Structure 1
Amino acid sequence: MKVLHLDSSSLGAVSVSRQIGAAVAAELAGASGSVVYRDLTAQPIAHLDGNLIAAMRPAPGATPPEDAAVKAELALNETLLAELFASEAIVIGAPMYNFSVPSQLKAWIDRVAQAGRTFRYGASGPEGLVGDRKVVIVSSRGGKYAGMPFEAALDHQEAYLRGVLGFFGIKDVTVIRAEGIGMGPEARDAAIAAALAQVDGLTAAA
């Protein structure tokens, strides 16, 4: 299986989402598959600015951009889209930062969320163009949110990612979650162990 693996944690070697995400990517790829790895923190993608947005959404009759920096960013967009469409499975390492996703991951989403490429608007509304493929969201959280009425209302991480992926037409989404990792060493170890225990069954379900 061809796997696209995205990491977005800023914590490096001590990151829980990176540890679990690596295990997930290896499991999905297997011995005969391949992994395209993109570390969105080590090699951050620039956030959208006015010049890039204008180049990505040119007005009718507009001339192509001549600025070398904008051309380079447009070329990066094509690389990111090619990686996305070439994948058969996607692993998204997504720690919760202040109830949402890291800005590095949001920057990647902003580059691939392109009308006419990953979605389009038709007579019956939006239509995803990516095509269904398996996605595993590796979610790490300092507190506990799943099933907690007040805390769940603050979840703009998993819910947001599910929404974006669904908008792209991706419905096969699995969340492997490590919660409570900020609640002490024992809670952290238990959360990691529980998450890693879910990895073995992914290939059978792929």
Structure 2
Amino acid sequence: MSSILLLTSSPRAESASTSIATELAERIKGQSAGSVIVHRDLAANPLPHIDDLFTAAIRKPAEERTAQEAAAVKTSDELVDELLAADTVVIGTGLINFNIYSSLKTWIDNVARAGRTFKYTESGPVGLATGKKVYVVLASGGVYSQGPAVAMNHAVPYLKSVLGFLGIADLEVIYVEGLAFGAEAAEKAISAAKARAEELAVAA
């Protein structure tokens, strides 16, 4: 049985990134009997930002944490467990101010844990969340995969860097872009993204 972790982060009710990411996760699930989807809607159920109590707690062994510290790190532990258990991760996000939604960034802050998803060694940091495939559905009003605005796309380089740091290097990006260029352009962008998602799901 495989586990698919679906992370959606758009606050928009009619979100292209959410709908296509969800559809992709369902299609991948259909490729393997017994597969399950664990869905975190990071916009509808925002995660707590890390704070002093959290950073103190994660530096201690679990048995040495106070009740307050244990409570502060409980959600993070659950998120890390979900990530480590997943064979596939599907992420839906919009490009906002040239990067990912803050709700998704908070998820990353909660799962980037020394000793759990990465470790430090004499030769440098080593990712521990290995053996996973990640699909990122990235929606944007403009075009950022190519052309003059590509340098302003900080979302994809950031996700590749931070997930790679955790040991996840196998990443595919599905762009849903040009959504602000009128109804016809948006329809074409969504159709192309859905077709690409279907191709990737069949190959999964």
The alignment's TM-score, normalised by the length of structure 2, stands at 0.92
**% of aligned pairs identical?**
41
User: Which ranges in structure 1 are unaligned for 5 or more consecutive residues?
Assistant: none
Residues 1:135 and 2:145 aligned together: no
Q: Quote the Cα distance in structure 2 between the aligned partners of 1:108 and 1:123.
A: 28
Q: Which amino acid aligns with 1:19?
A: S
Q: In the alignment, is the contact (CA less than 8 A) between 1:135 and 1:174 conserved in 2?
A: yes
Aligned residue for 1:73? 72
**Deviation >3 Å, runs of 4+:** none
Give, in angstroms, the shift of residue 132 of structure 1: 2.0
> Where does residue 153 of structure 2 map in the other structure?
155
Partner of 1:25: 25
1:20 CA drift (Å): 0.4
1:144 equivalent in structure 2: 143
In 1, distance between residues paired with 2:164 and 2:101?
19
Cα pair 1:96 1:140 within 8 Å, conserved: yes
TM-score scaled by length of structure 1: 0.91
What whole-Å deviation, never above 9, does each CA across 1:111-160 have from its counterpart, x for those lacking one?
A: 000111111121221211111211100111110111224x1221111111
> Which ranges in structure 2 are unaligned for 5 or more consecutive residues?
none
Q: Which amino acid aligns with 2:86?
A: S
Whole-angstrom distance in 2 between the partners of 1:163 and 1:53:
22
One-letter code of the match for 1:102? Y
Q: Which amino acid in structure 1 is aligned with residue 16 of structure 2?
A: V
- 1:54 aligned residue: 56
Aligned-pair CA distance for 1:57: 2.4
Q: State the SS of the aligned residue for 2:152.
A: coil
Q: Which residue of 1 aligns with 2:192?
A: 194
SS of 1:201's partner is helix
How many correspondences in the alignment? 200
AA aligned to 1:49 is D
**Residues 80-111 of structure 1: per-residue CA shift (max 9 Å, x gap):** 11111111100011111110111100110000
Write the distance in 2 (CA, Å) between the matches of 1:108 and 1:87. 15
